[in-house]
Structure 1
Amino acid sequence: MSNSSLVSYTGLSPNHSGQRTHSIDRITPHCVVGQLSAETICACFPAGRDASCNYGIGTDGRVSLCVEEKNRSWCSSSSANDQRAITIECASDKTEPYAMNSAVYNSLIKLCTDICKRNGKKKLLWFADKNKSLNYAPKSDEMVITVHRWFANKSCPGDWLYNRLGDLSAKVTAALGGSTQTPTADSTVWYRVRKTWADAKSQLGAYKELANAKACVDKHPGYSVFDVNGVNLYTSNTTTSAVPYKVRVSISDLNIRKGPGTNYARTQYIPVGTYTIVEEADGQGASKWGKLKSGAGWISLDYCKRV
């Protein structure tokens, strides 16, 4: 098993579990939370620290090797994922949405293409769905993208990269000469109406015409139209109901923000429980935001259930 020829610096970390027990069929990109160099990323994983990665991409786009591909890194908070994934730490801003510059993103595309090519893959798949991704059995020529936030109470790889993983998938697959991922065998484009992309059970329908999907959303406040990659294409501006009302938060990594949008600073994670919403607002990163009665801030209502 070889390493990438794109590597310009090698600083091997002792933090790994030896040779993999599963073939490589996943790539897990991370945000390193800092505009670090290729060398500094490797220096983040000295002996005694329970963390590492296979590759790092510095802020100038240079690639470093921290753990050889043949070995399992300690990167995703999931030993099962790390056994089969090449993990890549990418230089990013220190605050949400943890944006990466063009040099880093372009190197990520090239590195993923190289990893796929050397491992006999012709497609890099992004489903934007945790359950589907983790339960999918890749074909021999397929590689699947997974993300750290699926395995731990973290926002990694940050919304900036998370929202571009469909683009990453398409560009790498095109460079490999494979066919672009499509939602159905007959290549029909379906527009799905759901409360959130992750909540497949809330789906009201799938439509071939975007106009019909939008019409359905207009009749069902709180729903949105999503494309095959989980990108929110449309959310009705119809007010759902008068406030106040109570919601149930069932996930442990929902952010409280200072304002209604991912462009506002995160203050903390909200504990699982029931909360009162006293105001609603539109904003970046969610179909609707709700202000907490406690005054702690705003939360995305896409991840809440009214009670």
Structure 2
Amino acid sequence: MSNSPLVTYSRISPNRTSPRNHKIDTITIHCIVGQWTAKQGCDYFATTGRECSANYVVGKDGSIGLSVEEQDRSWCSSSRSNDHRAITIEVASDTKHPYKVTDQALAALIDLLVDICRRNGIKALLWKGDKSLIGQVDKQNMTVHRWFANKACPGDYLYNLHPQIAAQVNERLGAAAPAEPEKKPSQTPSGATFTPYLVRITASVLNIRKGPGTTYAVTGQIKDRGVYTIVEQKGNWGRLKSGAGWISLSYTKKV
């Protein structure tokens, strides 16, 4: 097992079990309840008298710290079985509900998740918000601390973003949303089959909407100016391959 090359600071905590006893197949996102940098988080886990740690710490400034190597189990989720199979990530957050994180931290978290999935053979992140599916990684491979203890972690801000986080990671992994039923190829008015195509986002922040138009609810945002696949088009709106929703093509450029 390797560690992420995105790490900007490393200080290994003694609070760990070496080695982990299970293949990495799960992701658990936490909030650290403090607007810290990765260095501050890693230094805390390395020196605290409390029995706690995490594999990674994502700082408020987008820094990424390694606190427990991926080959080892962190002490993070109040569940030994979960921590043995999961990569645990503490993200800097506000100290009050809903424990909001910065845009820099969220972008770094998504970069880190993409890297973790690629290196560990996780083809897609699966999220249904269903505690009964713990351990059934073919149906759901994301878990949260609140399922194992009487805690608010990861806070409502990150918890409610789980569908968006999974969709953005899966888009970059080239994986369609697993929960989305397979659709028949779209057709133009003339009956021709629609051919998917790639676009690069040109806006710094682009809303993802539930349907093709501004009257539909916003379900997420794209902030990485990355390349995305359009699998259906209605007017000047395109549907994302990930299943996250629709984007305005006015803020994209064909690749």
Aligned pair partner of 2:152 in 146, 151, 155: 155
2:135–2:141 CA contact under 8 A, matched in 1: no
Q: What letter corresponds to residue 160 of structure 1 in structure 2?
A: Y
**Structure 1 position 127, deviation (Å):** 1.1
| Aligned residue number for residue 76 of structure 2 | 75
Residue 10 of structure 1: how far off its partner (Å): 0.3
Which string of whole-angstrom CA distances, capped at 9 and with x for unpartnered residues, describes residues 181-234 of structure 1? 2254669xxxxxxxxxxxxxxxxxxxxxxxxxxxxxxxxxxxxxxxxxxxxxxx
SS at match of 1:67: coil
Aligned length: 183
In the TM superposition, residue 144 of structure 1 has moved relative to its aligned partner by 1.2
TM-score, length-scaled by structure 2: 0.69
Give the aligned residue type for 1:41. G
**Which runs of 5 or more structure 2 residues have no equivalent in the other structure?**
185-255
The answer to whether the Cα contact below 8 Å between 2:25 and 2:137 also exists between their aligned partners in 1 is: no
Residues 139-178 of structure 1 mapped to structure 2, 5 A cutoff: 144-178=141-175
Question: 2:30 maps to which residue?
Answer: 30
**Contact 2:26/2:137 (<8 A) preserved:** no
Give a deviation string over 1:108-130, Cα, whole Å, max 9, x none.
Answer: 10000000000012201111111
CA contact (8 A) 1:57 1:108 kept: yes
Q: CA deviation at 1:43?
A: 1.7
In the aligned structure 2, how far is the partner of 1:100 from the partner of 1:164? 11
Q: TM-score, normalised by structure 1?
A: 0.57
Report which of the two structures shows the higher radius of gyration computed on alpha carbons.
1
User: Do the aligned partners of residues 155 and 115 (structure 1) sit closer, same or farther apart at CA in structure 2, a change above 3 Å counting?
Assistant: same
Provide the secondary structure at the position in 1 that maps to 2:17: strand
- Number of the residue aligned with 1:4: 4
8 A Cα contact 2:59 2:105, kept in partner: yes
User: What corresponds to 2:223 in structure 1?
Assistant: none
**Structure 2 partner of 1:285:** none
What's 2:21 paired with? 21
Q: How do residues 81-120 of structure 1 correspond to structure 2 at under 5 angstroms? A: 81-120=82-121
- Contact persistence 1:14–1:47 (CA under 8 A): no
Aligned residue number for residue 43 of structure 1: 43
Following TM superposition, by how much is the alpha carbon of 1:179 offset from its aligned partner in structure 2, in angstroms? 1.5
Q: Deviations over 1:83-107 (max 9, x none)?
A: 0000000000000000001000001
Find the aligned partners of 1:174 and 1:86 in 2 and give their Cα distance. Answer: 20
SS at match of 2:101: coil
Say whether residues 1:179 and 2:139 are aligned partners. Answer: no
CA contact (8 A) 1:15 1:47 kept: no
Tell me the CA shift for residue 44 of structure 1: 1.7
Unaligned 5+ segments in structure 1 are 188-307
Which residue identity does 1:116 align to in structure 2? C
Task: Report deviation, 1:153.
Answer: 0.3
Which of the two has greater strand per residue? 1
Match of 1:287 in 2: none
Q: CA RMSD in A?
A: 1.6
Question: Post-superposition, which runs of at least 4 consecutive aligned residues in structure 1 deviate over 3 A?
Answer: 183-187
Q: Distance in 1 between matches of 2:88 and 2:22?
A: 14
Percent of pairs with identical residues: 50
Aligned partner of residue 125 in structure 2, secondary structure = strand
Distance 2:31 2:137 in 1: 26
- Is 1:54 aligned to residue 55 of structure 2? yes
Q: Deviations over 1:278-300 (max 9, x none)?
A: xxxxxxxxxxxxxxxxxxxxxxx
SS of 2:83 mapped into structure 1: helix
1:244-294 CA-to-partner distances (Å, cap 9, x unmatched) read: xxxxxxxxxxxxxxxxxxxxxxxxxxxxxxxxxxxxxxxxxxxxxxxxxxx
Counterpart for residue 125 of structure 1: 126
SS at match of 2:14: coil
Aligned equivalents of 1:70, 1:87: Cα separation in 2: 12
Aligned with 1:28: secondary structure? strand
